[in-house]
Structure 1
């Protein structure tokens, strides 16, 4: 009954929200490409590949989750050579990154997430015919989960996190969540013990929860600033290797202005300082470029690297490169933490070996930020007023900056191998299913 009501109310909610959604699509751009996939319409070539069977459906909302899904897929492929994956995403930037990374990987398909209306998801399910589903960071949708249950396809929540705010919401709706979500989840791989306890409190059975560590913080994938391809790229364009670089990553509105103001103040002591701005949403490039012009500063675009006027600022207007840009930096400021709520992933720049500064709003990453702050592995500021003196201290004292990074690595050591552990548990479950005919999903696995 709840699922029926959900599917009655969903079209109404979509109609009401359509104007807002349309404005967002037009602003961000890129949504027109393969838009019909959101309604379960695929090209003939893609449908033929789906018909081969044996696919695993992996849902990843946006760019960050896509990157994580691809790392998990590579490990699953290493452990099980016949592994094939369909990655579905919601945003145009995530879709573009998925297509870019699937090059020369015929065992990966990339599609848009379908609208979670039962007839639409059912149409998708019949074409993709997944043997299992993996949801990255708890991308939960009632119709999708119900169809997985109907076809006896296991559902795994990988890198599953639950914020305190979401916990409070689920506790209030415990019986509803139990019916629409938890009864349809096969296994949940929690990021840490705090997340595991929260999942238990909202109704997920304890025997379905395993703490595997946070895949985003898996230091097996440690980057090296020395070998950064963008360090080489910057040198090619005249930015000397010894020049200090301040990078703002995943920036939200207002944070570019904050960094620009701080940058100008820092230049008095560090005249060679170079600033790299990487907005969270690339469609904001024009807005940020206008801000820079209004401030009278010279800058270059990543897509149009004109360094003839010796600009001291680079605006990155491309997607899927942030992790590599981190490796080129001296100090990193993580966005959505000064202006905005929730913050962004602070671990990728730490894995690149860089000291990280964040603002007061890191609610979506509070557990790991608390862990890092206690260890002295991250610098969290209570207000933007402390940003300039903090950055000056880090630029002035390279050894102190290195100590921050070393303490961060030590604090994150227990997350090492999270991707391998998650993949192993999924593959082990798959082997059990293959050995037990009772787990065969509806009539297509052998077709």
Structure 2
């Protein structure tokens, strides 16, 4: 209790700095300035009360929860389902996937008065968090108000476990407040137990991220992108896509690309930055290297351009369907990588860097099934990484059979591991009785 009181006091002290951080972030992404009242728990009317709240921090989490939320809507048609996010891109994704089927707003900052207003406004029966989302103040208030608490797709890496153990007076009571924790693997379950989770209130449900599928919106986007890529496809240009890039990833991709086009001059590089505020900086980086560039935001057809910058939101999955080889960004530094299952759904060969710690179990399953290529270079030197990446890419471009085998194997891993959404729904039903 003392640790929670100290946490609440600390957040109150830090509140001006948290708001300043949002303002600074809004310089590159003005959406961070919008709907600020929601950050303080002041949800707009008319929001229906007495339903279920699902929190998905950003785009990746929203996409991963898509199947689960759809099943939740089917299971409880009489209840309002509210989906909260913390980022504008996550908000846009919720609106795109679900429209008015769900209520949507930003999760408030985890300060006492904001979370109190939030809960008073919505009066939920249940609140569902995902993966490593632990909000000590909100979770405590939910428990005090008899709101059922469920953590789905629980993920706790060895690195996070080590960090959380330093905060056990705050974190352990927090996770013990959950009515149940559904983990995405046995290893994650054991990490939660080490942190103090109750053995009777934790189980392994598998990973929600395997429960991905195509819908009409994605198929429409596939067609839209295909029209822009028509000249490249007609000329049979091979397409290499690097997905969800962070700072440093683009420089690595461009350095590797410069090496590969010495032999494969018609290769088209598609770059999909993770954060929209970096779109212009990535475009400048490409042009500074003397490469011709097409931007998705300009809606122009890709002819002979060397790089296509996908400076748009919500089109990565559709773009994966058009690539020949896909590399996951965030896996070449200390980011921990991004979800490789979307390209796997399209039977695409996947290359990742040495750091896929955010998707350790998924990566391991893909490697064990010979369904993914992981590079060995752990050095953060672009020259060393680009050397290995360019050689791997060149070899794969020249081996169509290996591309097919990798893609088919990756797809089978996805199919074999689906079902976590249904198991999570069953736990919701059990707790709601």
Normalising to structure 1: TM-score of the pair? 0.88
| RMSD of equivalent CA atoms | 2.3
Does the residue aligned with 2:206 lie in a helix, a strand or coil?
coil
Counterpart Cα distance in 2 of 1:409 and 1:101: 23
Kept after mapping to 2: 8 A contact 1:302/1:314 = yes
Counterpart Cα distance in 1 of 2:79 and 2:404: 40
Aligned pairs for 1:176-325 within 5 A: 176-179=170-173, 181-218=174-211, 221=213, 229-230=221-222, 233-237=225-229, 238-240=231-233, 242-307=236-301, 310-325=304-319
Does the residue aligned with 2:367 lie in a helix, a strand or coil?
helix
Q: 283-292 vs 227-236, which deviates more? A: 227-236
- Given the superposition, is the C-alpha separation of residues 207 and 62 from structure 1 closer, same or farther in structure 2, using an over 3 Å criterion? same
Task: Tell me the equivalent position of 2:105.
Answer: 111
Kept after mapping to 2: 8 A contact 1:114/1:121 = yes
* Residue 101 (1) aligns with residue 94 (2): no
Displacement after TM superposition at 1:418 (Å):
1.2
Task: Tell me the equivalent position of 1:440.
Answer: none
Displacement after TM superposition at 1:399 (Å):
1.4
Aligned pairs for 1:157-176 within 5 A: 157-176=151-170
Counterpart Cα distance in 2 of 1:234 and 1:260: 24
Runs of 4+ in 1 over 6 A off after TM superposition: none
Q: 367-376 vs 181-190, which deviates more? A: 367-376
- Given the superposition, is the C-alpha separation of residues 308 and 320 from structure 1 closer, same or farther in structure 2, using an over 3 Å criterion? closer
Which of 385, 393, 399 is residue 397 of structure 1 equivalent to?
399
- Residue deviations 1:336-358 (CA, integer Å, cap 9, x gap): 11134311112221122111111
Which of 349, 358, 372 is residue 378 of structure 1 equivalent to?
372
- Residue deviations 1:97-153 (CA, integer Å, cap 9, x gap): 2223332x3x41111110111111111111111110010223111111111111111
Displacement after TM superposition at 1:366 (Å):
2.0
Kept after mapping to 2: 8 A contact 1:218/1:417 = yes
Task: Tell me the equivalent position of 2:390.
Answer: 388
5+ residue gaps in structure 2?
378-384
- Given the superposition, is the C-alpha separation of residues 413 and 234 from structure 1 closer, same or farther in structure 2, using an over 3 Å criterion? closer
* Residue 333 (1) aligns with residue 334 (2): no
Counterpart Cα distance in 1 of 2:85 and 2:209: 18
Kept after mapping to 1: 8 A contact 2:293/2:307 = yes
Kept after mapping to 1: 8 A contact 2:344/2:414 = no
- Given the superposition, is the C-alpha separation of residues 236 and 365 from structure 1 closer, same or farther in structure 2, using an over 3 Å criterion? closer
Counterpart Cα distance in 1 of 2:133 and 2:302: 46
Displacement after TM superposition at 1:421 (Å):
1.6
* Residue 55 (1) aligns with residue 57 (2): no
Counterpart Cα distance in 1 of 2:224 and 2:124: 42
Displacement after TM superposition at 1:322 (Å):
1.3
Aligned pairs for 1:356-371 within 5 A: 356-371=350-365
Does the residue aligned with 1:311 lie in a helix, a strand or coil?
coil
Q: 110-119 vs 61-70, which deviates more? A: 61-70
- Given the superposition, is the C-alpha separation of residues 99 and 232 from structure 1 closer, same or farther in structure 2, using an over 3 Å criterion? closer
Task: Tell me the equivalent position of 1:64.
Answer: 60
Kept after mapping to 2: 8 A contact 1:76/1:427 = no
Task: Tell me the equivalent position of 1:436.
Answer: none
Kept after mapping to 2: 8 A contact 1:253/1:339 = no
Counterpart Cα distance in 1 of 2:123 and 2:3: 25
Kept after mapping to 1: 8 A contact 2:348/2:410 = no
- Given the superposition, is the C-alpha separation of residues 36 and 116 from structure 1 closer, same or farther in structure 2, using an over 3 Å criterion? same
Counterpart Cα distance in 2 of 1:26 and 1:177: 33
Counterpart Cα distance in 2 of 1:276 and 1:231: 17
Kept after mapping to 1: 8 A contact 2:136/2:170 = no
Normalising to structure 2: TM-score of the pair? 0.91
Counterpart Cα distance in 1 of 2:43 and 2:399: 55
- Residue deviations 1:69-116 (CA, integer Å, cap 9, x gap): 33311011223332431111111111122223332x3x4111111011
- Given the superposition, is the C-alpha separation of residues 263 and 223 from structure 1 closer, same or farther in structure 2, using an over 3 Å criterion? farther
Does the residue aligned with 1:319 lie in a helix, a strand or coil?
coil
- Residue deviations 1:299-348 (CA, integer Å, cap 9, x gap): 11112122376323211111122112112211001001113431111222
Displacement after TM superposition at 1:372 (Å):
2.1
Task: Tell me the equivalent position of 1:153.
Answer: 147
* Residue 421 (1) aligns with residue 423 (2): yes
Number of residue equivalences: 421
